[in-house]
């Protein structure tokens, strides 16, 4: 293993010879895999472009995040800047290195969007981002090449399984009564916690997000029934209103809860409310203020 890591260090150091010239563009591509950007992208699709596509890609991302974080805990591999002091950490990060979460997320999110949009530009964009986002992680000194390989493999497996199984599972869910769906939404987060190898910030965040998202989707279909269609200005206003609330829960509650105990409970509360806002709270406001129409079956 040390020989593989040493080889990886040589690759990282070669890329870092181009620093600081390429610091800005590679930091930009890494940002496209960061939590804040994905918190804007996925709700944006759900609110403003295609509700169903937004739901599907969000569910895939949450599942991918679970398996990636669990694999990081089990792998327990260092990052390049931790392994060799010659490597500079050019972008702040934390946690274990293998497999690369940015790489895996790029594969599942952009790969899935390309399969659903079925446009040449979408395929080209997905291929570009699946190459440059992972490459930025090597340049910035936060991942070994082997971390990227692990992210690619796990991401590809998840993408293929999801594309295959999602229509089957969705059809089964459509046949279930509300009470059964509610039970799944309430139990799934705690099943994820039980399956996760240990308790940490990542496991709590994933479980809480799945709880808020699941409950929100059920309440939205039962009470709100918004559509993502509309004029350009309606879509723009929906995004602005939604993001204001999103940042209030994501950033505002983080500042409010900073340094307070019980840490895990407060973190669970924060991400549960965030998921609930995205899937139910914001759509309710959109309908109330005339920024979208209600689905025909809800009217």
Taking the C-alpha atoms of residue 122 and residue 152, their distance in angstroms, rounded to an integer, is 19
Residue 299 has pLDDT above 70, yes or no: no
pTM assigned to the model:
0.95
Residues 6+ apart with CB under 8 A from 198: 73
Taking the C-alpha atoms of residue 209 and residue 269, their distance in angstroms, rounded to an integer, is 9
Placement of tokens 């409310």 in the chain: 273
pLDDT value of position 294: 82
Placement of tokens 């050019």 in the chain: 90
Residues 47 and 228: beta-carbon distance below 8 Å: yes
The pLDDT tens digits of the residues spanning 177-229 come to 999 999 999 999 999 999 999 889 999 999 999 999 999 999 999 999 999 99
pLDDT value of position 218: 97
Q: List the structure tokens of 256.
A: 């409010």
Segment 243-264 mean pLDDT: 95
Residues 6+ apart with CB under 8 A from 252: none
- Work out the number of other CB atoms within 10 angstroms of the CB of residue 90: 20
Say whether 93 sits in a helix, a strand or coil: coil
Residue-averaged pLDDT of the chain: 95
Residues 216 and 246: beta-carbon distance below 8 Å: no
Identify the burial level of 115 via C-beta atoms within 10 angstroms of its C-beta, where 0-12 means exposed, 13-18 middle and 19 or more buried.
middle
The pLDDT tens digits of the residues spanning 264-277 come to 999 999 999 999 99
Residues 93 and 79: beta-carbon distance below 8 Å: yes
> What is the Rg, in whole angstroms, of the alpha carbon atoms belonging to the chain?
20
Rounded percentage of the chain residues whose pLDDT exceeds 70: 99
The pLDDT tens digits of the residues spanning 22-44 come to 999 999 999 999 999 999 999 99
Q: Which helix (H) or strand (E) holds 291?
A: none
Taking the C-alpha atoms of residue 276 and residue 35, their distance in angstroms, rounded to an integer, is 17
């Amino acid at each position: 293993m040390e020989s593989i890591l040493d080889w990886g260090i040589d690759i990282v150091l070669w890329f870092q010879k181009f620093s600081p010239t390429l610091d800005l563009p590679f930091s930009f591509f890494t940002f496209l895999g960061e939590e804040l950007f994905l918190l804007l992208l996925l709700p944006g699709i759900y609110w403003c472009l295609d509700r169903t596509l937004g739901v599907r890609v969000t569910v895939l991302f949450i599942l991918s995040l679970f398996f990636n974080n669990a694999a990081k805990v089990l792998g327990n591999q260092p990052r390049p800047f931790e392994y060799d002091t010659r490597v500079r950490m050019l972008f702040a990060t934390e946690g274990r290195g293998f497999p690369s979460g940015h790489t895996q997320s790029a594969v599942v999110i952009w790969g899935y969007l390309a399969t659903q949009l079925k446009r040449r530009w979408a395929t080209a964009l997905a291929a570009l981002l699946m190459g440059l986002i992972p490459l930025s992680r090597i340049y910035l000194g936060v991942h070994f090449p082997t971390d990227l390989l692990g992210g690619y493999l796990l991401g590809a497996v998840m993408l293929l399984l999801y594309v295959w199984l999602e229509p089957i599972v969705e059809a089964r869910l459509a046949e279930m009564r509300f009470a059964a769906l509610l039970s799944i939404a309430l139990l799934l987060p705690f099943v994820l916690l039980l399956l996760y190898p240990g308790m940490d910030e990542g496991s709590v965040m994933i479980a809480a997000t799945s709880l808020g998202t699941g409950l929100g989707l059920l309440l939205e279909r039962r009470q709100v029934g918004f559509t993502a269609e509309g004029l350009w200005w309606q879509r723009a206003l929906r995004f602005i209103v939604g993001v204001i609330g999103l940042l209030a829960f994501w950033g505002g509650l983080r500042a409010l809860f900073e340094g307070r105990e019980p840490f895990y409970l407060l973190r669970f509360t924060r991400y549960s409310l965030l998921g609930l806002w995205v899937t139910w709270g914001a759509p309710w406001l959109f309908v109330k203020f005339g920024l979208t129409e209600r689905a025909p079956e809800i009217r």
